Amino acid sequence: MTDPNSTLTPLDLETPEKPFLDANELVINMGPQHPATHGVLRVILRLDGEKVLGLECVIGYLHRGVEKIGEHRTYTMFNPYVDRMDYVAAVSNGLGYCETVEKLLNVEAPARAQHVRVILTELNRIASHQLWLGTHALDIGAITPLFYTFRDREEILKIYEKYCGARLTTHAFRIGGLQYETYTGFEKEVKNFLTFFRPKIDEYEELLTTNRIWVERTKNVGRISAQDCIALGVTGPVLRASGVKWDLRKAQPYANYKNFDFEIPIGENGDTYDRYLVRMAEMRQSVRIIEQAVNALPEGPIMAKVPKVMKPAAGEVYHSIEAPKGELGYFIVSDGSTQPYRVRVRPPSFVNLQALDKMCRGQLVADVIAVIGTLDIVLGEVDR
């Protein structure tokens, strides 16, 4: 029995492009308070049913004006601020900043400092990838990896805590080298960690790599081609998973990475699954680098001769490093005074997030969550 007064027409499932209640295209809002956006990312989705037609990111909720603060602090005082950008990879941020200022000052950190820097930075890469794996798997519905990765990440944080007293925003490096000599037993603890951690990577892989749910949720999801990555400026594991063998540690070696033997893992399809595999392989390579560095740790000073009041000569320098998320660059303009005239941070997360639209088009809403996870963004760095 039909109501003759009803204005509703029955839903035509055969031709879904025909408007029904003019609701064919739906605009919905996701975030900024959403557990799967890894912070305060707001995404405006245009949907056709479950299918994503396009999306727009709204960012800036965590904007603290880091670049402006940099212009009002001395070179030394700004150093701890950079830890607060990508706070899960604070050590990498510090390395990039210190090396950039060292370039301006024309000094180089001593060999021992360089080695310790590499050890701590690679430990940080592992910690960052562990946090990524735990939260990414959690987003997709696997809770267990989170407990595994956080259990093991704790060991890295303990090393940091013993070395510099902080676990997250470490401020581990100083311009010109290191502030602290390594503590007694540092080398042994790092080696112990490597022995402890190697089988753990296999454990993570056992949970996920051939897990049918994981594979279904990640294979062919959020694909991006190498050309698109390059055009969008996407770097890091995302670029490598698309098949581009490019890593700044090899392409333009900084610190003393050229002394270490390691490979650049790459993927083929540029999908979420490949990005997962690339990051897993990267953790193994980091273990290799740390092992070489800790076995060849030279004796000697840990600090280059740098003036107490730093006044780099007027000039400008761009320097970038391979952070866990991609190319992290610093562009610093000096006017010869004690404070930078301008500090520009080129954050990998910010630029990589731009690819979200491209990667999500044609996918389902649930895949947007997977893609945000696989991009491995940290909103503290996106918004600065």
What residues from 297 to 356 belong to the interface with another protein (CB under 8 A)?
A: 301-309, 311, 313-318, 320, 327, 329, 331, 333-339, 341-342, 344, 346, 350-351, 354
What residues between 44 and 83 interact with another protein by CB under 8 A? 59-60, 63, 65, 67-69, 71-74, 76-77, 79-80
Which is closer to another protein, CB of 18 or CB of 64?
A: 64
* Whole-number Å distance between alpha carbons of 384 and 64: 6
Burial class (CB in 10 A: 0-12, 13-18, 19+), 329: buried
Which is closer to another protein, CB of 24 or CB of 54?
A: 54
For another protein, which residue of 43, 172, 232, 378 counts as binding (CB under 8 A)?
232
The residue count for binding another protein (CB under 8 A) is: 75
Which is closer to another protein, CB of 80 or CB of 264?
A: 80
Q: What are the respective helix, strand and coil percentages of the chain, to the nearest 5?
A: 50, 15, 40
Minimum CB separation from another protein for residue 37, in Å?
A: 17
Minimum CB separation from another protein for residue 70, in Å?
A: 10
Helix (H, G, I), strand (E, B) or coil at 122: helix
Burial class (CB in 10 A: 0-12, 13-18, 19+), 331: middle
What residues between 183 and 222 interact with another protein by CB under 8 A? none
Write down the residue that tokens 């204005």 correspond to: 7
Helix (H, G, I), strand (E, B) or coil at 97: helix
Asked if residue 244 binds another protein (CB under 8 A), the reply is: yes
Minimum CB separation from another protein for residue 199, in Å?
A: 36
End-to-end CA distance of the chain: 61
- β-strands 315-323, 326-334: how paired? antiparallel
Residues in contact with another protein, shown as a per-residue x/- string from 160 to 179 under the rule CB under 8 A: -----------x--xxxx-x
Minimum CB separation from another protein for residue 346, in Å?
A: 4
Minimum CB separation from another protein for residue 56, in Å?
A: 9
* Whole-number Å distance between alpha carbons of 126 and 149: 10
